[in-house]
Amino acid sequence: MATQPGAITARRPLDGEAVQAFAASLRGPLLGPSDAGYDAARAVFNVMVDRHPALIARCAGSADVMAAITFARAQGLPLSVRGGGHHVAGSSVCDDGLVIDLSQMKGLRIDPARRTARAEPGLTWGELNHDLQAFGLGATGGYISITGIPGLTLGGGFGWLVRKHGLALDNLLSVDIVTADGQLRTASAEEHPDLFWGVRGAGAQLGAVVSFEFRVHPVGTVLAGPVIYPLERAPEVLRFYREYAATAPDELTSGALLFSLPPAPFVPPEMHGARVIGSPSATLARRRLGSGCCGRCGSSALRWPTSSRRCRSTSHSARRTCCGRRATTSTGSRASCRR
């Protein structure tokens, strides 16, 4: 369905009457190059992408999407489908074609009893999870809350809950999708199973998904944050991380990154641009035992009720005491206790 970025170069005149009839059939606005809002609507997250669609249909519902696909077919126009607009190649916006812009469709229905959520494609992961949290639930989205749910889900989608609950598409139960013939279909394991199989990984090529039904999960307290070390310590930190990640519980998702610290508010100014190795991590808190890792000591670590009955923490503090024993020492090294 989506055009290849940059593949469409020929400008063709549009049939004015057909465009007017199309605009009149829509509940949402249809924008052309001379309309206010056109430039904002064609902009995507990657500011290097600068494409000029002939028309942008800001769809308000499934009927608009059906009309848009039917119009594009009749006119022989290239199409692209836009969700959150975060694809780095800007594939949600085409040159000289019709953009089916779903970013205004933000409907959401949560069923706390069944632990499902039906979400429209204009929602970001942050918006979806904001509402799910009112029920103590969370969806398996990406690491960054501002990305759109459609592109991320249809391409796989990995994020903070991936180790415990899988990819975003592993949690997809069904989709409502407008296919290339302009018809709305529901695809799930039971209905149009081949289409459902294809959607999970290649969905952007099979139609415009107008709603996603997700399985969602209990998500209470989440502890998260990066642990940062100077780049010179990378060999030591990576060796530790290899061992640590292999034994960490599924509730914890983490990574090891080599990067330069951004000029963000939480970074001290003297450290802007510093080259570091860091491990951003988030963990679902299953049980917190007061202020002690085993309920007996004074560290602030968590105890994971895993079979190894082991707790660990990393710390910037020079020394820490754990279970009455002095644990391993210098800044950034591991503090651990076993019993």
Residues that bind ligand FAD (CB under 6 A): 2, 45, 80-88, 91-92, 102, 121, 142-144, 147-148, 150-152, 154-159, 203-204, 208-209
Q: Which is nearer to ligand FAD, 147 or 313 (CB)?
A: 147
* CA angle in degrees (0–180, nearest 5) for 177-178-183: 125
Provide the 10 A C-beta neighbour count for residue 306: 14
Q: Which is nearer to ligand FAD, 210 or 293 (CB)?
A: 210
Sign of the dihedral defined by the CA atoms of residues 117, 203, 179, 27, in that order? positive
* H helix intervals, the chain: 16-25, 38-42, 62-75, 125-133, 149-154, 162-165, 193-202, 234-247
Q: Which is nearer to ligand FAD, 21 or 88 (CB)?
A: 88
Smallest gap from residue 53 Cβ to ligand FAD (A): 12
What is the DSSP pairing of strand 137-138 with strand 108-111?
unpaired
Q: Which is nearer to ligand FAD, 102 or 172 (CB)?
A: 102
- Type of residue found at 112: P
Smallest gap from residue 264 Cβ to ligand FAD (A): 14
Q: Which is nearer to ligand FAD, 159 or 278 (CB)?
A: 159
**Is residue 310 classed as helix, strand or coil in its secondary structure?**
strand
Smallest gap from residue 184 Cβ to ligand FAD (A): 13
Question: b/e for 28-64, b at 16 or more Cβ within 10 A?
Answer: bbbbeeeeeebeebbebeeeebebebbbbbbbebbbb
CB 253 within 8 A of CB 160: yes
Smallest gap from residue 153 Cβ to ligand FAD (A): 8
- Type of residue found at 312: R
CB 258 within 8 A of CB 231: yes
Smallest gap from residue 16 Cβ to ligand FAD (A): 27
Q: Which is nearer to ligand FAD, 125 or 304 (CB)?
A: 125
CA 241 to chain centre: 25
Smallest gap from residue 239 Cβ to ligand FAD (A): 26
Smallest gap from residue 316 Cβ to ligand FAD (A): 26
Distance CA 168, CA 141 (A): 6
Query: Strand pairing partners for 275?
Result: 260
Instruction: Give me 41's structure tokens.
Output: 């609507």
Q: Which is nearer to ligand FAD, 82 or 320 (CB)?
A: 82
Distance CA 244, CA 264 (A): 28
Q: Which is nearer to ligand FAD, 201 or 249 (CB)?
A: 201
Q: Which is nearer to ligand FAD, 53 or 121 (CB)?
A: 121
Smallest gap from residue 42 Cβ to ligand FAD (A): 12
**Is residue 210 classed as helix, strand or coil in its secondary structure?**
strand
Smallest gap from residue 230 Cβ to ligand FAD (A): 26
**Helix crossing, 16-25 with 62-75: angle to 10°?**
170
